[in-house]
Amino acid sequence: MNIFRMIKCGILVSAAAVMVALCSSCGNKSNYNSKVHINEALRHMNNKYGVEFTYDSDNTKEGSEGIFGKQDSYVNILVTCKQLPDIKIVVYSSDGSEFLDDLVPKKFEHQAQADLNLLAKTVFEGDKPTVKLYLNTESEMSKRNLPADTTYEDFLMSGALGFVDIYTDDCDAPLEDYRSLAGRLMGNEINCEPSVWYFADDSYTRIDEKNTVIDFDEPEKKLGQIRVSNGGCIFDEDFDGEITISNDRSDPVSLQISQITEVDTAPYNAMLLPAETTSANNGSESAADNTDSNDELS
């Protein structure tokens, strides 16, 4: 081949390679978690909070509504700052027009945990009740995205706490305890969705990320649950006071929380007792009824 033709072909190949590289570079600007998108997210955080944030990693943790680990969005990353060195903050945007972050809930998480632990101890007896917050897992980013100047009190009332699970083996008066819990939460202006799980013993202390309350490895120890029926927080406008009592042995039952002191709560409380205890109680009642009948006959 003519040497000049070889040189010409080489130049054309090199030019094509450069064009491909340029096109790829342009395309990467619109990719999920591209450098451009990450820099936009960091700039948003710097401007919002007035401190410097650093990219830590892509956020690959699974969570509700496909937000966490979602890779068809604009950006979904974890960032850090010197002011909160032990906290990784989620920054998310679906299209770059709005950025959401959970810095405020993460900042107040330990304080909220401590306050809710104390509150639970004033309601539930038996072994130590356990309070579980879901600020790092299953709350929607839109509800956790709060202004930079949010106070702790504002945070508690915002609804950003979302789900609050309480695990206990105090099954003497579940409905009355739940009403007391809701009253104390309202009195302390803590807006959340309280859910109480009842256990036969303190086996609930083994609940963790691998052994969750839903898939607990000793299901026979899990007696049931009382929760808000409509899935909202107790200060939300659509909270109508309805709660649901459920277990694995019978159909769920709904009840207005305001009716608890006005109705016979025994059948509802019995839903959250061990099956053998309920059977024994029924047997005792039957025996007592028979004794009364015999007395009347004699």
- The number of distinct structural domains making up the chain is 2
Please give the torsion angle defined by the CA atoms of residues 43, 48, 54 and 55, in that order, rounded to the nearest 10 degrees: -70
Q: pTM of the predicted model, to two decimals?
A: 0.79
Helix 103-123 and helix 174-187: axis angle, to 10°? 130
What's at 51, amino acid-wise? V
Residue 12 maps to a domain: no
| CB contact at 8 A, 79 and 54 | yes
Q: Are residues 138 and 241 in the same domain?
A: yes
Assess if residue 8 is contained within a domain. no
**Same domain membership, residue 124 and residue 87:** no
User: What percent of the chain shows pLDDT beyond 70?
Assistant: 77
Evaluate whether residue 189 is within a structural domain. yes
Confidence at residue 225, expressed as pLDDT on a 0 to 100 scale: 97
Q: What string of DSSP letters covers 105-118? A: HHHHHHHHHHHHHH
Same domain, 39 and 152: no
- Whether 76 and 221 share a structural domain: no
271 and 135 within one domain? yes
Residue 112 has pLDDT above 60, yes or no: yes
Give the best-scoring range by mean pLDDT among 73-77, 149-153, 212-216: 149-153
Q: Domain range holding 169?
A: 104-286
Separation CA 244–CA 197 (nearest Å): 12
Asked whether residue 24 is domain-assigned, the answer is no
Question: How much is the pLDDT for 170?
Answer: 94
Judgement on whether residues 124 and 164 belong to the same structural domain of the protein: yes
State residue 232's pLDDT score: 85
My answer on whether 112 and 177 are in the same domain is: yes
10 within some domain: no
Asked if residue 20 has pLDDT above 90, the reply is no
